[in-house]
Amino acid sequence: MNYKPILIVPGEPNSIFFEIFFKCLISYKNNSPIIIISSRKIIELHMKKLKYKFEINTLDKNNIFKSNLNNKRINLIEVECNYEVKLDKISNKSKKYIDNCFKVAFNLIKKKITYKLINGPISKKFFLNKKYLGITEYIANHFKIKNFAMLIYNEKLSVSPITTHLPLKYVTKKITKQLIVKKIELLDSFYKNFFKKKAKIAISGLNPHCESVSKFNEDEKIIVPSIKILQKKGINIQGPLSADTLFLKDTRKNYNIIVGMYHDQVLTPMKTLFEFDAINVTLGLPFIRVTPDHGPNENMIGKNLSNPISLIRALQFLDY
């Protein structure tokens, strides 16, 4: 089988990503070649800090198959870092460098070298500078994609928020029938086409117990009609269900996807159940983009204590 390469944009240099990446190279053996898009100096800095030694195979981004790709060494497409990295605190100094790494990855994807992308953790505060809600929106905008969805995936249960990194006070203004229907159609299609199985979806209400003291109850006026539209399309969906009991064992066992109205409504219970044994998959892009389900965690840099399981799951997910 001819496995397409997995591109990795490590993201923020001041993060634990390289620690877990090194651990993955040792503990997990991929069939797909792994290509990291980064600064050689940054990789060597992390190796020195963590006392790892890997041979680095520098690739020509215009002809990446010119040299033998194997995962016994680090396959690197080098991107120059335009500032001095000290492995301490995150700042906006890394913005241009990270953006350049993404541009290299996007160009390779557009050339159809591969359709697999992993990116490491990035500080939304410093990198996005309020221009986008999240990295998902940044990537979608680059490919001119307006309809996309976030799926936090574990083979036992996945979750998806209708709104992503949106302040809570704006959530009610964002939620519409059209948005709910489009997002859930993406989820249903992904399960059907990628996993070859039918999605069994539960959708939460917005308000506590799906009730509201307000004259306008979003659960009745927006979510219920959306569910009826989706059911008529043949999608297996139930709700709205009260979010405070939706994740109970006897309830969640009936579904493989739980959809919530906002980020923490579904990600908090998901991370409580599975901790880092989950990955973030972006649906709707013209390629498969996956991120490990953890942040930069700059306070843990150099301690060699971080759990690599989420990156291992991301690599496994794309190893086909």
- Give the dihedral of Cα atoms 311, 314, 318, 320; nearest 10 deg: 80
pLDDT in tens, 160-182: 999 998 899 999 999 999 999 99
pLDDT in tens, 56-85: 999 988 888 877 888 889 999 999 998 888
- The whole-number pLDDT of residue 299 equals 79
pLDDT higher than 80, residue 183:
yes
Fold of 149-278: Isopropylmalate Dehydrogenase (3.40.718)
26 burial class (0-12, 13-18, 19+ CB within 10 angstroms)?
A: exposed
- Rounded Cα–Cα distance for residues 161 and 261 (Å): 5
Strand partners, 128: none
Same topology, domains 1-145+285-320 and 149-278? Answer is: yes
pLDDT higher than 70, residue 285:
yes
**Residue closest to 17 by CA, chosen among 263, 291, 279, 288:** 291
Q: Where are the domains of the chain?
A: 1-145+285-320, 149-278
Q: Centre a 10 Å sphere on the Cβ of residue 77 and count the other Cβ atoms it contains.
A: 20
What is the value of pTM for the model shown? Answer: 0.92
**Residue closest to 66 by CA, chosen among 35, 40, 42:** 35
CATH of domain 1-145+285-320: 3.40.718.10
Strand partners, 150: 282
Average pLDDT score, the chain:
93
Average pLDDT of 132-149?
93
- The whole-number pLDDT of residue 232 equals 98
- The whole-number pLDDT of residue 1 equals 57
